Structure 1
């Protein structure tokens, strides 16, 4: 029994280590400017990682100190957490399965359309009371000001590979026909009727295209890229956690069998 208990404790210690990439993924998302403004995914990931850590710690203690009820608690609750983590992995994949950038004439960067993205993601940014908060958060960052420091000439800017968020929020859509002065200052639109965003553009540095659908689409494109990266980490962790859980179940069953056999020998031999 002692050997089995030590094995169970060691297995659950490894499960504790698997909580680190989950918590780390949530913290990484929270440090990204767009995710920190939207505040959708990072806290569920962080909370789930902390719960995995706590439950694995309970299993670790139950294994080394031979506390059967604590091991049973670990087996039941960890199964629930694995199901929640699997559901989160599938959900993130589904909501980020749509949407991509579009080429603009004579531009190296891509432009983005809100309708390309999943309805669930669009609802996170389309409602005015939500977007007002997100817009204020985005406008307080230095992402657009950085473009002015990096690109002084039009052709350099047109050849730049800027982020989806910068493409959507810091400049007007290419089809509007604005004339470049600097990356965040444009004049003399040719076709203001080409897109509603053409009318939303403002040279006021706190406004720019933050009210545009292209800005919302750029935000979703950024989120998609980061969420997909996070989803890969969570998927790998999920597979490892399932393997550890199954090994732990086998070790727990063997420990129970060993314990029953020991009691049988004590009673009848």
Structure 2
């Protein structure tokens, strides 16, 4: 198996690590065959063993990186979910005590925001620990989703970042899961803030006869999250949506992979373009109606 010694070295390193390790282009030796290259993911299993995922490098250009998320990170995410349960319960209890002492409208709004976010995160942890089928989609107003995200951004960044609304008020409702969409868009906005943006714009537009993947949709939503931050590092451009890939030392590398997964759940897509001072992440989502399959 181990063609260049890196796998054995990684097993030794893993004994002192709590997060998964990734080996890019490790050389694997096959009996009676030429050596092959693969990306390896190693993480500690709950029973003390090692969880090993092997992905030939030539799979990544054609694969949806979000599909790698459940298998590559299952053990790590479940451990993290267990660790987060108690702090979340403490935050919820503190919010309930605070609600009894707050008597102004803005304070009550902030307490409600805390309570709603604790509930959303608790539901996400439940999903990680005991996966269940996705919730059925229902008609929703995308601008209500965006306003919730902007409220989170205002609480997180304060006046340090200018938040700009550029909405098309004539947009119809679209089928979706509001909590999952909040999670996806908030990940994108938070990434922009952490990339040093001074301004973040949320823009919505309708697109007609738009192709998403292999389907053409009569009408679709184009949601753009634009910022003037540092941009995407060139070294990460081809791997940006892969789990555990981050441009920040303290980053988890999960936000973009999860955002792409949410877009896929809604039969949509997530893409980006970037240069220093101008980065735009674009979410395309069908807005109802039958899609026309194309070859």
- Which structure exhibits the higher relative contact order, with contacts defined as CA atoms closer than 8 Å and separated by 6 or more residues? 1
Give your verdict on TM over 0.5.
Answer: no
Higher strand share: 2
TM range (shorter): under 0.3
**Structure ID, larger Rg:** 1
TM-score (norm 1): 0.24
Higher helix share: 1
